[in-house]
Chain A
Amino acid sequence: MEADKDNANPTIINPSDLPSRRRSAPTAKRPGIFDALAPAYPSLADAPSPPEALSDVSSDEEREEIDEQEVYDLISTISDPEHPLSLGSLGVVTLDDIKIVRPTSPRSRISTVTVLVTPTTSACSLTTVIGLGVKVRLVNALPPRFRIDVRIKEGTSKTADEVNKQLGDKERVAAAMENRSLVSVVNNMLATCE
């Protein structure tokens, strides 16, 4: 089995270097404005809020904005489909590659979350599955006013365009989530999130 992996020896990021709300991000890219937004997460372990909690936020929409760190916390704990490691520790998802675009007009209430996924190798055949896992996680956990665009980071995969088109196709994603074997793979990936 080991030999079948696209990348048997991935680079693993030290957990203390992963971005979290508890301390300023390692790159110091996130300055103090987030301190004011920081909710009462006592520790990193509590950070990935259960979906129910987020749904509550949505009913009270404008009261508390969801930020990039919160999105990161939701997806960084997803397990890689071929390594017993999280997407965060593998650097497949990073805080810098998450962007939230707020509603474009005062009348619109729709925000867009864009997540760029970096596969562990440029030939990773599981790229689509990883992207699907990230998409499903966010669709389930974020309020419906968020449109979720999961894309492969430019230049990191040979099949990026193809994968991007698939992940952007709601009909294909919906059909995939009725495919029992795919659902089971995705569920395994997401099992480490709650």
Chain B
Amino acid sequence: MPTTLTFLATCTPPCNTRTWQSTPHPHLPIVATACSDKTVRIYSLQNFQQLSTISGGHKRSIRSCAWKPNSLGESVLATGSFDSSAGIWRRWEGENAAGTGKGQEVDFTAGLSGGNGAQDDEDDDEWRFAVVLDGHDSEIKSLAFAPTAPLLATCSRDKSVWIWEELEDDNFETVAVLQEHEGDVKCVAWHPKEELLASASYDDNIRLWREDVDDWACCALMTGHEGTVWWVEFEDANGIYTLGSQENLNEEQQAYVATRLEAGPRLISCSDDTTIRIWRKASKNKPAASGARMPSIWKNRDFEEEWLEEARLPQVHERPVYNVSWSRKTGRVVSTGSDGKIVVYEERWRKDGAEKNEDVVMAEGTSASESSKSVTEEVNGQDGHRNATEWIVVAEAENAHDVFEVNHVVWAPRADKGKTTDDEEVIISTGDDGEVKIWTLSD
């Protein structure tokens, strides 16, 4: 029973120039697409029609967009632009949208074409450009709201990461300017439960940042990628449970679960070097091994963390990998990039527990030519564990956006009529052809 990735729909109308990124709303069935025509398109995930266009705030391409979490009743969108500024946009969602997560009952199409039948004033349908965040010297590449605090992170070609605190509505104060990267910072991502920020850079490195006493500072450096790191993302706080039941595990598996629970959510990264890697926080209980590796200039041993490359996903992409997304529901990973492929991976218990990594038989669903490299290349961490899990390719779509590069993929809850279960997800892909496509995964 092979898993298949099936094209479901294209959002209409498409943008006629490159689209960079599509971000699903935290609780409404809508998605915001950052476009190189200086607009953001809002599409419905119920019928895949465009609901509105946000324009007029930026002088150059909008590269990225992020929704503020936990803002019931009002949607707040941040946009990052090549014009070096970030914008904060607001729109009231009305009484219907607030509350119980029954967002799908809201008819967003009403009122768009002259307010026919809409109970809201036309003004309420409008996106307000609330505030502009100036400070970066050059293009903003990515931005992200923290899930646990009123913080927004932005990053730029100027090699810096800025952290902004929203003191009250529309009043943002810069709380940190982090300048340790030696190249463009391509992506920022927050930890799901902690005030811990990850950044990925043109300098091929990943850094983690957190507040140390009063100042934000770099607490971890991950080296290894041999090209620009395009994207980083943390897994869900409950990621370990996607491996299935915690019962009837053998000794090795139990040890791995313990390791993962201690380490917390892992980080995934993808790069121009065509690899996708998973990083895990190393245990602090190995002072001998870690002491030798730590530069002495680090001031506070409790503050800084060591993160190890835990696994490499099967090598499918042939060109730079621009984006990778971790499903909050299933723990599956989807990736895309310059080769126009969309690939879905799954982590599972290694079946042949006693054998060496190299002898692992390839996964189903991949062609024979890939057999030698289609299973996780595992890295032995300093804690001496061989990974008890492996990653396999479960589905793949080639030429996902015709011959164009695909810039972004992300999971979102399914909301159209074809939805059969509450947990069902779709994959949203965004390409150089200006199209936003919706895909389903069937088991």
| Interface flag for B380 (CB, 8 Å) | no
- Please indicate the chain A residues that have their CB under 8 angstroms from the CB of B310 in the complex: none
Pick the contact of B36: A104, A108, A144, A174 (CB < 8 A). A174
Q: Would A110 and B340 count as touching, CB distance under 8 A?
A: yes
- Please indicate the chain B residues that have their CB under 8 angstroms from the CB of A108 in the complex: 339, 398-399
Q: Would B157 and A174 count as touching, CB distance under 8 A?
A: no
- Please indicate the chain B residues that have their CB under 8 angstroms from the CB of A144 in the complex: 402-404, 432-433
* Interface hits, A151-178 → B, CB 8 Å: 165, 168-172, 174-175, 178
Q: Would A165 and B228 count as touching, CB distance under 8 A?
A: yes
The number of inter-chain residue pairs (CB within 8 angstroms) is 52
A104 to B432 alpha-carbon distance, docked (Å): 21
A–B pairs, 23, beta carbons within 8 Å = A110-B339, A110-B399, A110-B403, A143-B403, A144-B404, A144-B432, A145-B403, A147-B319, A147-B338, A147-B405, A165-B228, A168-B320, A169-B202, A169-B228, A170-B405, A171-B63, A171-B141, A171-B186, A175-B60, A175-B82, A175-B139, A178-B61, A178-B82
Give the residue name and chain of the A residue nearest to B402 (CB).
A144
Q: Contacts A108-B398, A144-B432, A178-B82 known; A172 to B340 CB distance under 8 Å?
A: no
- Please indicate the chain B residues that have their CB under 8 angstroms from the CB of A175 in the complex: 60-61, 82, 138-139, 157
Range class of the A interface residue count: 10 to 19
- Please indicate the chain A residues that have their CB under 8 angstroms from the CB of B402 in the complex: 144
Range class of the B interface residue count: 20 to 34
Pick the contact of A104: B141, B318, B338, B403 (CB < 8 A). B318
A172 to B60 alpha-carbon distance, docked (Å): 13
- Please indicate the chain B residues that have their CB under 8 angstroms from the CB of A29 in the complex: none
* Interface hits, B314-343 → A, CB 8 Å: 318-320, 338-340
- Please indicate the chain B residues that have their CB under 8 angstroms from the CB of A104 in the complex: 318
A116 to chain B, nearest CB (A): 18
- Please indicate the chain A residues that have their CB under 8 angstroms from the CB of B340 in the complex: 110
A169 to chain B, nearest CB (A): 6
| Interface flag for B184 (CB, 8 Å) | yes
Instruction: Provide the main secondary structure of the chain A interface.
Output: loop
A107 to B316 alpha-carbon distance, docked (Å): 14
Closest 9 A/B residue pairs (Cβ): A145-B403, A178-B60, A175-B139, A175-B82, A107-B398, A144-B403, A109-B403, A178-B82, A144-B404
- Please indicate the chain B residues that have their CB under 8 angstroms from the CB of A174 in the complex: 18, 36, 61, 82
A6 to B399 alpha-carbon distance, docked (Å): 44
| Interface flag for B125 (CB, 8 Å) | no
Give the residue name and chain of the B residue nearest to A171 (CB).
B141
Give the residue name and chain of the A residue nearest to B403 (CB).
A145
- Please indicate the chain B residues that have their CB under 8 angstroms from the CB of A110 in the complex: 339-340, 399, 403
- Please indicate the chain B residues that have their CB under 8 angstroms from the CB of A145 in the complex: 403
- Please indicate the chain B residues that have their CB under 8 angstroms from the CB of A169 in the complex: 184, 202, 228, 272
Give the residue name and chain of the A residue nearest to B322 (CB).
A170
- Please indicate the chain A residues that have their CB under 8 angstroms from the CB of B403 in the complex: 109-110, 143-145
Q: Contacts A169-B228, A171-B63 known; A109 to B82 CB distance under 8 Å?
A: no
- Please indicate the chain A residues that have their CB under 8 angstroms from the CB of B138 in the complex: 175
A182 to chain B, nearest CB (A): 13
- Please indicate the chain A residues that have their CB under 8 angstroms from the CB of B186 in the complex: 171
Name which of A107, A143, A147, A171 has the most chain B CB atoms within 10 A of its CB.
A171
**Per-residue 0/1 for B17-36: is the Cβ within 8 Å of any A Cβ (1 yes, 0 no)?**
01000000000000000001
- Please indicate the chain B residues that have their CB under 8 angstroms from the CB of A170 in the complex: 338, 405
A153 to chain B, nearest CB (A): 20
A1 to chain B, nearest CB (A): 29
